[in-house]
């Protein structure tokens, strides 16, 4: 158990608890906000939103270089688990694909719910209360905003949520680094 916890701490520290992915999602939600405030037809907006989600991996890789994150962390066997957690989300995108033509004005809400819910396993991997709390708050927040407001308002709201997420993760990372420095 001690070795497992050391691997989890290593992931949290070297990968900065996935901050590069959350920063990339800020950019993606900003792009989606621009798309949903445009005059394009809703099906076109949804198509462009799907295209935006495809930018996550290359964008997070670029951001990892900028903020000095070990993107792959090959020395840690739990890094593959993080990949598995991420790939799990792809299965849920089938729901969003069904919503796309069926209830197009709710597709972005479903994407936001899927995004938020997929974060929960990362709370275990990164030993993160921020991931745990936001993995619960984001789906409910997206549901409430998505049912009551235009998709553009939801995407704009998600930008705010993601920025808060980044700030909270940065604080959590700073505390971890301080704890590790004091421990050593």
42, 110 Cβ separation under 8 angstroms: no
Question: Binning pLDDT at 50, 70 and 90, where does residue 124 land?
Answer: very high
What per-residue confidence (pLDDT) applies to 19? 96
- Count other Cβ atoms within 10 Å, centred on residue 21: 24
Distance CA 102, CA 54 (A): 22
The Cβ of residue 87 has, within 10 Å, a number of other Cβ atoms equal to 10
What does the mean pLDDT of the chain come to? 93
Predicted local confidence at residue 29, as pLDDT: 98
Angle between helices 19-37 and 107-117 (to 10 degrees): 170
Lowest mean pLDDT among 35-44, 45-54, 169-178: 169-178
- At which residue do the structure tokens 């921020």 appear? 130
115, two tokens: 């995004």
Confidence check: pLDDT of 184 > 60: no
- CA-based R_g, the chain, Å: 17
DSSP structural state of residue 78: T
Domain ranges of the chain: 2-183
pLDDT at 43 over 70: yes
pLDDT tens figures, 51-106: 999 999 999 999 999 999 988 888 898 888 877 888 888 888 889 999 999 999 99
Q: What percent of the chain clears pLDDT 90, i.e. is strictly above it?
A: 79
């Amino acid at each position: 158990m001690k070795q497992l916890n050391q691997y989890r701490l290593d992931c949290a520290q070297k990968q900065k608890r996935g901050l590069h992915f959350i920063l990339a999602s800020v950019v993606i939600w900003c792009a989606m906000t621009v798309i949903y405030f445009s005059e394009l037809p809703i099906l076109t907006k949804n198509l462009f939103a799907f295209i935006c989600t495809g930018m996550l991996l290359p964008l997070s890789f670029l951001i990892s270089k900028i903020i000095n994150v070990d993107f792959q962390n090959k020395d840690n066997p739990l890094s593959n688990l993080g990949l598995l957690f991420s790939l799990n989300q792809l299965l849920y995108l089938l729901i969003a694909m069904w919503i796309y033509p069926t209830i197009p004005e709710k597709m972005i809400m479903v994407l936001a719910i899927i995004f938020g819910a997929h974060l929960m396993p990362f709370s275990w991997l990164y030993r993160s209360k921020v991931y745990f709390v936001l993995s619960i708050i984001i789906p409910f927040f997206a549901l409430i905003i998505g049912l009551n407001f235009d998709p553009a308002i939801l995407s704009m709201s998600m930008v705010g949520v993601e920025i808060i997420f980044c700030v909270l993760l940065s604080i959590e990372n700073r505390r971890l680094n301080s704890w590790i420095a004091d421990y050593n």
